[in-house]
Amino acid sequence: MNRSDLHDYQRYCVDFIKSHPESMMILEMGLGKSVISLTAILDLMFDRFEVSKVLVIAPLRVANTVWPEEKEKWEHASFLKMSVLTGTRKERIEALAVNSDVYVINRENLSWLVELLESRKAPWPFDMVVIDELSSFKSRDSRRWQALRKVRGKISRMVGLTGTPAGNGLMDLWAETYLIDGGERLGPFLHRYRDLWFVPAAKNPFTGQVFSYAPRPGAEADIYRRIGDITVSMKSLDYLDMPECVSVKHVVEMSREERKVYDTMKEQMMLEVDGETIDAVNAAVLSGKLLQLASGAVYTDGGEVIRVHDRKLDMLEDLIEQANGQHVLIAYWFRHDRERIMQRLKERGLAPRELKSGQDIADWNAGKIPVGLISPASAGHGLNIQQGGHILIWFSMIWSLEKYMQTNARLWRQGQEEVVTIHHIVVKDSMDETVMKALEGKNMTQEALIEAVRYAGL
């Protein structure tokens, strides 16, 4: 893909970043925040010569995969030299020494980077910083926030990327905005920001300690007005030709050992794991087994579940974090997918709930279920759940165009007031990619299924 493939709203955002040294891009997941940033970086660096080195701060897996993949995916962005500062201390130091244009670091290591440069008495080398998921800098007491504040005066261009900057309330905005504009719009001190726009909502009647604050009447509009000149949000882009539905693919990769298990099943139509036998008797069964393996687990001939990997669960966790409080609907196909998703999310302190009953659906539409699960087998026509959210994540791939489209249509339908983003978690070089290609080409025939497994001796 190249620059001509950018949407109008993406070009608008690129121009906004180039014309605003301080900018906050409030865009939903899947709308291309990474390629927008890379395009702006390219222009600022090689057309305007206003930027020499750029630091991108992102969640760990996003730093390791999304940014390098986006750079290679877009022809014009591939011109940029990129170095990823993750891994061991030795690996990070070696990556920092590489002569690159863009350096990507996970947010947990930001304080390490600042301290390293200080200990070496080295000048801060980055004149532009991009914060991927600005909402993760909402706490002024965090090490990452303190580290970035320390070098903020040495940075000439700041870009904050997020889907929801105030997912937990307006109080979050002060810390995030301060890193972008140095306190110019919402003030240099949190207590002044709080006193101006908030009142105590709950406090200890004996000690007077305040536990929470509520915004004063008109505070929200006033705060948004103050930061409006440096902010691009979906509302700002209403006049552009925005897509009603955006489809996004997130590729994950199995390890060498996990790949060996998958390839053995594909080539021999039989697999032995932990003393259990898994046998595929025909093309349809083999395709199903390979889809299970891609999702991370597989049923034995005796009905037991063998877990193979957690690659999709890791990506799912990242996507939910990036949603930052926005409600997410997860589509699964296999029962073991549902069980593993439930287990992982509960371990992370979330409360996932499957949409099965009328009460489940009513609660989802009322905004009472932050993370919902749905099976395409039950997502038939007439299921109205579009009021509860606009983010759908396909955890499992399915060989059914009808069920795929019906499930998407649960959110992408009349009455939906937001841009719907449909995310697909796809394992590289697996049956996932074959099914995804078939869905995109609307070729879900038996011949396509057989072709997908043809070199397995069928």
The pLDDT, as a whole number, for residue 236 is 46
Can you list the positions of beta strands (E) in 204-256?
210-215, 231-233, 245-252
Q: Would you put residue 274 in left (φ > 0), alpha (ψ -120 to 50) or beta?
A: left
Which of these ranges, 145-159, 171-185, 202-216, 421-435, has the smallest mean pLDDT? 202-216
**Secondary structure class of 181 (helix, strand, coil):** helix
For residue 5, give Cα distances in angstroms to 8, 32, 35, 242, 249: 9, 12, 11, 14, 16
Structure letter (DSSP) for residue 242: -
**Secondary structure class of 245 (helix, strand, coil):** strand
Residue 217 half-sphere exposure toward CB, CA atoms < 13 A: 0
The pLDDT, as a whole number, for residue 280 is 57
| Distance linking the first and last C-alpha atoms of the chain | 35
231 vs 181: CA distance, rounded Å: 11
pLDDT higher at 427 or 271: 427
SS3 content of the chain, % helix, strand, coil (to 5): 45, 20, 35
Give me the mean pLDDT over the 244-259 stretch: 89
Mean pLDDT of the chain: 87
The pLDDT, as a whole number, for residue 182 is 94
424 vs 404: CA distance, rounded Å: 11
The pLDDT, as a whole number, for residue 458 is 36
The pLDDT, as a whole number, for residue 235 is 52
422 vs 207: CA distance, rounded Å: 49
| Topology (CATH level 3) of domain 245-251+309-456 | Rossmann fold (3.40.50)
The pTM assigned to this predicted structure is 0.72
Give me the mean pLDDT over the 37-61 stretch: 95
Q: Which residue has the tokens 């891994």?
A: 87
Tens digits of per-residue pLDDT, 278-306? 665 566 778 888 999 999 998 887 788 98
* Domain range annotation of the chain: 3-237, 245-251+309-456
The pLDDT, as a whole number, for residue 208 is 77
The pLDDT, as a whole number, for residue 449 is 47
Q: Which residues pair with 85 in a beta bridge?
A: 105
Contact 442, 49 (CB under 8 A): no
Q: Which residue has the tokens 């709203």?
A: 9
Would you state the structure tokens that stand for residue 284, as one six-digit string? 């349809």
Q: pLDDT > 90: what percent of the chain?
A: 57
Q: Would you put residue 429 in left (φ > 0), alpha (ψ -120 to 50) or beta?
A: left
The pLDDT, as a whole number, for residue 442 is 64
Tens digits of per-residue pLDDT, 71-92? 998 999 999 999 999 999 999 9
Which of these ranges, 14-28, 234-248, 399-413, has the smallest mean pLDDT? 234-248
CATH class of 3-237: alpha beta
The pLDDT, as a whole number, for residue 453 is 47
* H or E stretch covering 152: none
The pLDDT, as a whole number, for residue 242 is 55
For residue 115, give Cα distances in angstroms to 131, 178, 296, 365, 457: 19, 21, 39, 47, 58
The pLDDT of residue 450 is above 70 = no
The pLDDT, as a whole number, for residue 211 is 81
